Amino acid sequence: GQYLQLWHTISRTTLSAEPDRLSWKWNSRGAYSAKSAYIATFNGSTGCDAWKLTWKNWAPPCVRFFHWLANLDRCWTTDRLARRGLQHLVRCPLCDQDLETMHHLILACPFAPQIWYEVLHWLRLSCAPPDFSQRLVAH
């Protein structure tokens, strides 16, 4: 099958006496430039303005900076300290149940729903109180 496809492609090709020349398809003149290569890198991708959620909002700068660090997983949590071979606690200091990661602190820790509820309540945003019946964990 591949042979037939190649044969079909070659049969439609015409040769000329002109010397070969390189042509860069990402530029209208056919000439390579660093700018056209940079633009070609993102060809077909979709733009995302997620950075605006971090930097273009009403939160204080320290909160925006923390959000940026947390999103990049650059906060000095137990898992990050362990990866660097630094002294660290074995478990989350709040619940003593799981390894302290950004995901655990912000979402999975049993204390996270209550903290989110308090923050949203303080901001006067409507939210349901946390349901602790689903988070019973024995120590």
C-alpha to C-alpha distances, 47 to 34, 51, 81, nearest whole angstrom? 20, 11, 34
Q: Considering the entire predicted model, what is its pTM?
A: 0.55
Mean pLDDT by 10 residues, the chain (139 residues): 92 89 90 93 83 88 92 90 91 92 91 90 80 52
Tokens 């049969």 correspond to 11
Q: Please state, in angstroms and rounded to a whole number, the distance separating the CA atoms of residues 65 and 60.
A: 9
